[in-house]
Amino acid sequence: MPPLSVSTQRSIQSAADIIRKSKRGVVLSGAGISTPSGIPDFRSPQSGLWSKVEPLEVASALAFRYDPFRFFEWLRPLATRILTAEPNPAHLAVSQLQQMGFVQTVVTQNIDGLHQKAGTKNVLEVHGTFQTMTCIDCYNKVSSKPYIRPYLEQGTIPRCSHCGGILKPDVILFGEQMPHQPWLKAQKASLHCDLMIVAGSSLEVLPVARLPMQAIERGAHLIIINHTPTYLDVRADVVFSEDVAIILPQIVAQIRYQLKETPKPLG
């Protein structure tokens, strides 16, 4: 890792100071926190998933109903990456911030489960999850586990044991509503937090992108760590236009130093 600039080091110290004073911290994570784990994002001009295919043609509710086989064919290599990925230092740093008592809730736009793999609790998956599937005919909800290996290894389309209908992963496609309870909890957490850390999100996808604005309008501090600019950079206390997998662990190490603890390896 190249040495951090003086301005970045100062920003890390400022962010650590803010976090240490928080009691109701929320982390809002996006695709950028998982790209270091090998999971591609959706919107990067060259490498993003949407640079290769029109999203409404494969990943909308209508497209799934019309041609679910094309959806599963498109999803298979991505699902392989997601289900075999491991948490990176940014996920571990979020978990450590929670263990230290500074972060209570994680709101994630990701469907990879890496926050949970890193040991984080109270993760609100507002764009759905791969952990369960629902039959598009009888609406029977089941665990994904029995279907994952046959799908990844042979491309077997998961089907309902009750009616034979196709099982759709409980991830949110274009044209679908977000899961009700996680979204309500995410809004509540944003309205009552005293700190929000945006980790790897460009804040371009509504309605999630409004959550940080709701937080700062209620007086919360805002820290943004994202490679590209966001619409709230001008309102944030601290902004890092750098790799979240580098910056977040450095912030945790600085907090430990301030607390006179020996920094622990982030794995």
* CA distance linking residue 123 with residue 19, whole number of Å: 19
- Residue 262 confidence (pLDDT): 53
Question: How far is it, in rounded angstroms, from Cα 113 to Cα 129?
Answer: 8
pLDDT of res. 83: 86
Amino acid at 28: L
How far apart are alpha carbons 179 and 234 in whole angstroms? Answer: 31
Give the pLDDT score at 233: 97
Give the pLDDT confidence score for residue 49 in this predicted structure: 47
Cα-trace Rg, the chain: 19
Q: Mind giving me the DSSP string for 161-210? A: TTT-PBEEEEEPPBT-PPPHHHHHHHHHHHHH-SEEEEES--S-STTGGG
Q: Is 115 a catalytic residue?
A: no
- Return averaged pLDDT per consecutive 10 residues of the chain, 267 residues in all: 87 97 97 93 49 66 89 89 94 98 97 96 96 94 94 94 95 90 97 98 94 97 97 98 97 92 51
Selecting among 127, 162, 192, 227, the annotated active-site residue is: 127
CB 89 within 8 A of CB 145: no
User: In the chain, where do the E strands start and end?
Assistant: 25-29, 103-108, 123-125, 128-135, 141-143, 167-171, 195-199, 221-225, 238-240
Question: Token pair for residue 113?
Answer: 């489960």
Distance between CA atoms of 133 and 131, rounded to whole angstroms?
7
In sequence order, what are the residues at sequence separation of 6 or more whose Cβ sits closer than 8 angstroms to the Cβ of residue 26?
103, 104, 105, 106, 107, 189, 190, 193, 195, 196, 197, 215
In angstroms, the CA 191 to CA 217 distance is 9
The pTM is what?
Answer: 0.89
Predicted confidence at residue 45, as pLDDT, reads 45
pLDDT at site 263? 52
Rounded Cα distance between 79 and 160, Å, is 19
Walk me through the domains of the chain, giving residue ranges and CATH numbers.
1-38+87-127+178-267 (3.40.50.1220), 40-84+129-171 (3.30.1600.10)
Strands 128-135 and 141-143: antiparallel
